[in-house]
A and B are shown apart, each in its own frame.
Chain A
Amino acid sequence: MAAAAAAAAASVASQAQAVLRGRLCDQAVVHSALRSSPDTNYSKLKYLVASSVSEACNNSVLLLGPRGCGKAAVVDMVLDDLKKDHPDAISVIRLNGMLHSDDNCATKEIARQLCLEHQLSFSKMASSDDNTEFMIDMLRECGLAHKTIIFVLEEFDLFAQGKQRLLYSLLDAMQSLTSQAVVIGVSCRLDADQLLEKRVRSRFSHRKLLFVPSSVDSLQRLMEHLLALPEDSPLPTNFRVVSYMDIDSGLLSMQSFMNALSSMQRQPKMDGLQDLSILELYILVCMNRLEDKEKSSYNFITIMKEYKSVQDAYKTSDKYSHTVCFRAFEHLLDRELISFADNKGRNQALEYRPVKLLISSRELAESLKLNTTCPAVLQKLLDRERYM
């Protein structure tokens, strides 16, 4: 009986897990709270774009804010809504600064997408002049047909490099009555509009929407909205999440959140330090000592000297030959716990190139403490020179 009940609970729980997973991945659900309030960026942007669609005017707007604040999500939602409201009257051109920051390839991409949207045949061979002209013609034709072209430029700051010919021709084409276009720039650089050339800036209508990271309160509301299942559903109506969900109980415990958090906030350097060999730890400690002695520049040879002196002073059993030490040294380099001080002297032998420690002494001390196999003398070495 008990087993059957447990199995049933588990199946319900996994069902719940599936529902929640679906919710978390669905942008529309995540941001559905935005639709109601008039003060959100969503409704502002929607008003802006919708009014320029219905009033047949040109507009340009810049969405600024750090990453992960929902800029692209809001744009997507607004565009989806508008496509529903005005089917057939909107065509969206999406460009990304990472891919199309070059003017020629941006115009080509615009022409390609325009052709795709309007079922025209596209030629790869067209020169960028042709493409620009095509774009301007299309702007005009679409304007005459009451169709709005919406340009979404992601990573807007990357378009603002060089002569900014693309932005100029785009914004300049929008200065005519026949065209009907909206340019939406999305950037995480707060000073993106300052990057524009003055003649481009003059044509850019300085609409800016600022996205700020949401506060603790709103995050909490969002989480409740996402994770709480409705009362009337057959699923358990408690508060829960996903990956670390305890399938047995079907609830999301504090522990599962903690696990999730720690798995997300890994400390790569600390983890890297955990599984080093004793010899490698020795090398790191020696380097740390050297840095504390204010040796601005040192290389493998210097480290070996220090290592020797330590070995001589403490007479430990961990004495290794030069080549073994060098192997360990190379391993550290590979793990990027240490690095070369500069890029000069590439053809120099590795032993003689100056190196630097990339981890702080505090991290080193912590990891030594955590490391159970670490000999006591090593910790003493680190501590000693700290007090000296």
Chain B
Amino acid sequence: MDLSATPSRSKSGLRSSPRKPAAAPAVAQMDLSTPSKPTPKRKPKAPPVAAPMSPATPSSVRRSSRLLETPTKVTSEAPVKPTPTPKRKRAAPSPSPKTPTQSEPKRQRQQPKKPKKRAHYRKVVYDGGEFAAGDDVYVKRRDGAESDAEDPEAEECRVCFRAGAAVMVECDVCLGGFHLRLWREPDGIFWAKVRWYIIPEETAAGRQPHNLRRELYRTNDLADIEMETILRHCYVMSPKEFKDASDQGDDVFYCEYEYDIHWHNFKRLADIDDEPETKEDPGDEPYNAGNDYVSDSDEDSEYDEEEEPTKCGSARTHQSHVLAANLRKGRTYGLQKIGIRKIPEHVRCHQKTNLEKAKATLLLATLPKSLPCRDKEMEEISAFVKDAICNDQCLGRCLYIHGVPGTGKTMSVLAVMRRLRSELDSGNLRPYSFIEINGLKLASPENIYKVIYEQLSGHRVLYNILDWPTRPNSNLVVIGIANTMDLPEKLLPRISSRMGIQRLCFGPYNYRQLQEIITSRLKGIDAFEDQAIEFASRKVAAMSGDARRALEICRRAAEFADYRVKQSGHTSVNRGKNVVCMGDIEAAIQEVFQAPHIQVMKNCPKFGKIILVAMVHELYRSGLGEVMFDKLAATVLSWCHVNRELLPGYDTLLKICCKLSESKIILCEEGTKHKLQKLQLNYPSDDVTFALKESPDIPWLSKTLPNSRGILMFPSLRLEFTRALSFGPIAFLSPPASPLPMANASATRKTHRRRRRRVTFLARTCHRLLRFLATRRLRRRGHGLNSISAGDSPPSGQPPRGRDAEEAEATQSAAAAQRRHEERHGDDAAATEEAAVAGKYWAQRRSLFSLYDRGVRMDAEGWYSATPEPIAAAQAARAPPGSLVLDAFAGVGGNSIQGCYVVAVEIDPRKVELAAHNARIYGVDDMIEFVVADFFHLAPSLKADLVFLSPPWGGPSYSQAQVYSLDMLKPRDGFTIFQAAQEISPNIIMFLPRNVDLSQVEQLSWLSSPPLDFVSEENYIEHRFKGITAYFGGLAQEVLKQG
């Protein structure tokens, strides 16, 4: 801003003003000549005072005024009425000539003494000058000492040290001004309703150091004056215009604030488009004054019947006592009071640093200069609206826009409407009106009719609104904006059928678009490192694609940087460091995306930590998410006893539990239940393990925690597990009754429930794994898949099998039996299907399995979903030797067979059987552990060196898509799969179709923090492009090294 006038200049500015106007009087003189020309057309009261020319009169002041279309108030109050004096005038184009502001006419009070006809004009040509409502003009003040004395403005003239002298006509700093409204009394005199401008000295606060020399305040002081007193035009500009306007001479003034003369306080002027706009009465007929009256009135003048005063000074103060501000009626009265006594200095005289500028432009509220990346959608919207407006029989229409939050839906629509508005102003469009309603801001659906003046009830609201466009002769266009994609389907059929089929989807922004949005806002401000912006946009794109969030992250990062700079003292030496770097972005992202619970757990009181660890312990022991307080306390006390800690009382423990549950680290029932209270961890047990692994104050605590692999409780047992891996395959049947974690969780409580379930499940899985290990040896004969186990010596030191372990096995054997039973029935159908598919892929059988002829068995899906052997072998070779590989979607075992130590997860038991069979043919059955389970259920409890993902591509039709997007993967989209996998290990191999969108795959690597390395590889078999392998994390580097 170029408002940064130095405070000291103000005085000198004042002083210099007399000198400077040396030119000004000339202007004044010249102006004077124009109005003083005898105007033949009208001479109301003007002539008598023609003699005292303003240049000579010391007190004559220049004033500017602006047309105001508030209905006139009682004319008798007009102060200037009695003694109008010679005048000069000039008119400038008003910023918004066609939208007069009309503030809430009160209709109930009729003006009693209203003359029959009082014509109101928008524009008056008077004395050769043309004045329109909304113009700023100079006004000649009455002269004569006596009137000056009572006139505050005139008195203030002394401030500019020119009071008595006869030299000055135009004193730059003392200007009054008006807004005006033009009308003519029946007697033919032209009057104007004006609003004064006022110079800083006239305010209660006086001239403030930051005031500019040519600064004015707009007041709420209204007056009626005769047209004759008007001198000429001047130009009062808003800061923006002022900046743009280069030099328009002396008549240019700067106005940023409004001054309330009653309360003596300031307020920023709202932007032009924020001003309340008048709706023109449709019944208003243009008054063709030009025909009836003198030619002064222009042809486009219009009149309306006199309306009573809204704001008259005395009435207002009076009423504000009566009306409450928060009532609809009282609003206009009360809010006048809001304002600040003095304009705070920091607002004006503050040189902004780059970082602060960046922060300001990154504000969500800031309207960007351009709206990048939504051109297509905006085009569509504007085409839609224009079509609807221009079309002669406006076929009422609906457009439904949907998209996740922060993708620019509302912004685009508003931008389109703004653009249309300007087109309308330039006359290219038919007039229309635009109503914006936010459903969430309505207290109830019925309130929408307050907005549209209609009274109906119930669910019919949406029905009615959407029904209107279909009526003949209706001119309504409805644009609906929502987040959900399938809202029309969720509505009643009658509504959705009226909603029409035109829909527009706003997809999430990708990282390039986000980057563009941010850089376009930051244009010209050197505050961000380029990589920092890219990093932020990539992160957000991978998470949500929400532009608001990206902007907020950048702003937060700028705050961090600013904070850093300000804290490090004001040593401006290291100027280079005053930009936002990667570290700041990282910190901001951490703050947004990372849950704070780990830090809180780390800082828990001692017994809080012990309780948390005891809960993990109980969870692993019992396999149930919930634990009774009784048991928990017993564990804690026994630990404390063993480790010579101070023994806490039960009640103390209970209190700590309740405190933990207040921060929702654990969930628990109310404390009155005491011993019977049920407790549950609210976060994954891994987080507790991670947080409390090292607690300096309780060294023994880490021994009781599960170890780093997270699978097993006790170190000795973990050994057994690894040994068990090499013994041979075991089948784990996922418990048939295990609850699906996603099952119908209600929308509001979803976070809760899902979390709770997850904990439960995790525990069960682990535990079952344990129990299974413990009991496996005793049930050699086995059933189903167990029969394939290879003979070896049993691991020693197994815990004795418990009662419940037996139960578990019993249920599993029952489940397996049932499954085999089902299989027998399903076999026939499967066989025929397989034969059909096999015919197609038969030629490739040896490229799928080189040992096919030795009896490899496949099912129908296996034929097209198995990874060809050469590719699988190549992929497996990338793995570091001896690493434990997790094959997340094993299928019939194409990949698993190639690895060395593999845990193969597959949800379909039939496929597992086939895979185990195939593995035996290849002679690697003792290297593979098959687990029948849903990968997503199991993932939280798994650890491995490497994860291999070859998720189903969704059938052979994948190749028909132009670009294969990761959403098309089964059973869930690629992002979810990857997210689950990267929790297990940062080394990930993904096998994807050849037409996959590689940029999307690359985005996956940003899902984890820090971002993983990424390398992709194209796989060919006999010169045919089969697929793409993506390597993430450490593997990518391996691959690069290997070449």
Contact B274 A178 (CB under 8 A): yes
- The digit string for A48-86, where 1 denotes a CB below 8 A from any CB of B, is 100100111110000011110000000000000000001
Stretch at the interface among A127-135, A239-247, A277-285: A127-135
Report chain A residues within 8 Å CB of B650.
267, 269-270, 359-360, 362-363
A220 vs B268: C-alpha distance in the bound complex, in angstroms?
51
Taking each of A44, A120, A129, A363, which has the highest tally of chain B beta carbons within 10 Å of its own beta carbon? A120
Contact B406 A58 (CB under 8 A): no
Report chain B residues within 8 Å CB of A191.
595, 597, 664, 682, 751
From known contacts A138-B335, A190-B596, infer whether A121 and B603 are also in contact, taking CB-CB under 8 Å.
no
A250 vs B323: C-alpha distance in the bound complex, in angstroms?
62
Identify which of B338, B443, B602, B676 contacts A358 (C-beta below 8 A).
B676
Stretch at the interface among B63-71, B341-349, B777-785: B341-349
Identify which of B364, B367, B562, B595 contacts A51 (C-beta below 8 A).
B562
A22 vs B308: C-alpha distance in the bound complex, in angstroms?
62
From known contacts A121-B324, A359-B674, infer whether A145 and B266 are also in contact, taking CB-CB under 8 Å.
yes
- The digit string for A161-195, where 1 denotes a CB below 8 A from any CB of B, is 11101001100101111110000000011110011
Stretch at the interface among A2-10, A205-213, A311-319: A205-213
Identify which of A38, A43, A190 contacts B595 (C-beta below 8 A).
A190
- A228 CB-CB contact with B under 8 Å: no
Stretch at the interface among A11-19, A28-36, A111-119, A322-330: A111-119
Report chain B residues within 8 Å CB of A216.
697
Distance from B501 Cβ to chain A, minimum over Cβ atoms (Å): 25
Contact A123 B327 (CB under 8 A): yes
Identify which of B364, B553, B595, B675 contacts A175 (C-beta below 8 A).
B364
Identify which of A66, A133, A198 contacts B662 (C-beta below 8 A).
A66
- The digit string for B426-450, where 1 denotes a CB below 8 A from any CB of A, is 0000000000001011110001001
- B591 CB-CB contact with A under 8 Å: yes
- B117 CB-CB contact with A under 8 Å: no
Contact B326 A188 (CB under 8 A): no
Contact B270 A144 (CB under 8 A): yes
Contact A147 B675 (CB under 8 A): no
- A140 CB-CB contact with B under 8 Å: yes
Contact B327 A88 (CB under 8 A): no
A43 vs B563: C-alpha distance in the bound complex, in angstroms?
10
- A352 CB-CB contact with B under 8 Å: no
Q: In this complex, what residue of B is CB-closest to A134?
A: B326
Report chain B residues within 8 Å CB of A143.
268
Report chain A residues within 8 Å CB of B343.
146
Contact A179 B360 (CB under 8 A): no
Mark out the residues of chain B between 337 and 385 whose CB falls within 8 Å of any chain A CB in the assembled complex. Answer: 337-341, 343-344, 346-347, 350, 356, 359-360, 363-367
- B726 CB-CB contact with A under 8 Å: no
- B267 CB-CB contact with A under 8 Å: yes
Q: In this complex, what residue of B is CB-closest to A58?
A: B365
Contact A203 B364 (CB under 8 A): yes
A230 vs B274: C-alpha distance in the bound complex, in angstroms?
59
Q: In this complex, what residue of A is CB-closest to B324?
A: A123
Contact A66 B405 (CB under 8 A): no
Report chain A residues within 8 Å CB of B356.
55
Identify which of B269, B326, B441 contacts A144 (C-beta below 8 A).
B269
- B946 CB-CB contact with A under 8 Å: no
Q: In this complex, what residue of A is CB-closest to B356?
A: A55
Report chain B residues within 8 Å CB of A126.
324, 326-328
Distance from A185 Cβ to chain B, minimum over Cβ atoms (Å): 14
- A89 CB-CB contact with B under 8 Å: yes
A168 vs B359: C-alpha distance in the bound complex, in angstroms?
23
A161 vs B553: C-alpha distance in the bound complex, in angstroms?
26
Report chain B residues within 8 Å CB of A144.
258, 267-270, 338
Mark out the residues of chain B between 297 and 346 whose CB falls within 8 Å of any chain A CB in the assembled complex. Answer: 320-321, 323-328, 330-331, 334-335, 337-341, 343-344, 346
Contact A172 B441 (CB under 8 A): yes
Report chain B residues within 8 Å CB of A268.
651
Report chain A residues within 8 Å CB of B404.
198
Contact B337 A48 (CB under 8 A): no
Contact B555 A205 (CB under 8 A): yes
Contact A212 B595 (CB under 8 A): no
Distance from B271 Cβ to chain A, minimum over Cβ atoms (Å): 8
Q: In this complex, what residue of B is CB-closest to A141?
A: B338
Contact A44 B552 (CB under 8 A): no
A191 vs B666: C-alpha distance in the bound complex, in angstroms?
12
Contact A205 B552 (CB under 8 A): yes
A118 vs B567: C-alpha distance in the bound complex, in angstroms?
35
Contact A51 B559 (CB under 8 A): yes
Distance from B440 Cβ to chain A, minimum over Cβ atoms (Å): 5
Contact A133 B328 (CB under 8 A): yes
A143 vs B267: C-alpha distance in the bound complex, in angstroms?
9
- The digit string for B549-568, where 1 denotes a CB below 8 A from any CB of A, is 10011011001001100110
Distance from A119 Cβ to chain B, minimum over Cβ atoms (Å): 7
Report chain A residues within 8 Å CB of B269.
144
Report chain A residues within 8 Å CB of B957.
none
Interface residues on chain A, number (Cβ under 8 Å): 96
From known contacts A66-B600, A118-B338, infer whether A174 and B365 are also in contact, taking CB-CB under 8 Å.
yes
- The digit string for B627-648, where 1 denotes a CB below 8 A from any CB of A, is 0001001100100000000000
- The digit string for B253-283, where 1 denotes a CB below 8 A from any CB of A, is 0000010000001111111001000000000
Contact A175 B562 (CB under 8 A): no
Report chain A residues within 8 Å CB of B745.
none
A358 vs B549: C-alpha distance in the bound complex, in angstroms?
49
Contact B326 A145 (CB under 8 A): no
Q: In this complex, what residue of A is CB-closest to B663?
A: A66
Q: In this complex, what residue of B is CB-closest to A177?
A: B365
- B30 CB-CB contact with A under 8 Å: no
Distance from B848 Cβ to chain A, minimum over Cβ atoms (Å): 44
- B652 CB-CB contact with A under 8 Å: yes
From known contacts A88-B340, A198-B483, infer whether A207 and B556 are also in contact, taking CB-CB under 8 Å.
yes
Q: In this complex, what residue of A is CB-closest to B651?
A: A267
Contact B341 A137 (CB under 8 A): no
Contact A206 B546 (CB under 8 A): no
Mark out the residues of chain B between 516 and 552 whose CB falls within 8 Å of any chain A CB in the assembled complex. Answer: 546, 548-549, 552
Distance from A335 Cβ to chain B, minimum over Cβ atoms (Å): 12
Distance from B418 Cβ to chain A, minimum over Cβ atoms (Å): 15
Report chain B residues within 8 Å CB of A321.
none
Mark out the residues of chain A between 249 and 269 whose CB falls within 8 Å of any chain B CB in the assembled complex. Answer: 265-269
Q: In this complex, what residue of A is CB-closest to B674?
A: A358
Taking each of A57, A195, A265, A363, which has the highest tally of chain B beta carbons within 10 Å of its own beta carbon? A57
Contact B600 A212 (CB under 8 A): yes
Q: In this complex, what residue of B is CB-closest to A173?
A: B441
Distance from B395 Cβ to chain A, minimum over Cβ atoms (Å): 32
- The digit string for B588-607, where 1 denotes a CB below 8 A from any CB of A, is 00011001110110111100
Distance from A174 Cβ to chain B, minimum over Cβ atoms (Å): 7
A80 vs B493: C-alpha distance in the bound complex, in angstroms?
57
- B716 CB-CB contact with A under 8 Å: no
Report chain B residues within 8 Å CB of A168.
440-441
Contact B603 A213 (CB under 8 A): yes
A94 vs B604: C-alpha distance in the bound complex, in angstroms?
29
A191 vs B687: C-alpha distance in the bound complex, in angstroms?
14
Contact A130 B326 (CB under 8 A): yes
Report chain B residues within 8 Å CB of A111.
326
Identify which of B350, B483, B697, B748 contacts A54 (C-beta below 8 A).
B350
Contact B555 A137 (CB under 8 A): no
* Extra contacts besides A122-B325, A140-B274 (4): CB < 8 Å: A47-B559, A51-B559, A358-B674, A363-B650
Task: Name 10 A/B residue pairs within 8 A (Cβ), A-sorted.
Answer: A54-B347, A66-B662, A145-B267, A145-B268, A146-B340, A162-B748, A177-B271, A189-B664, A215-B603, A358-B676
Binding site for B on A (CB under 8 A): 38, 43-44, 47-48, 51, 54-58, 64-67, 86, 88-89, 104, 111, 114-115, 118-123, 125-134, 137-138, 140-147, 161-163, 165, 168-169, 172, 174-179, 188-191, 194-195, 198-199, 201-203, 205-208, 210, 212-213, 215-216, 265-270, 336, 339, 356-360, 362-363
What 4 A-B pairs have minimum CB-CB distances, sorted nearest first? A123-B324, A202-B405, A120-B325, A212-B603
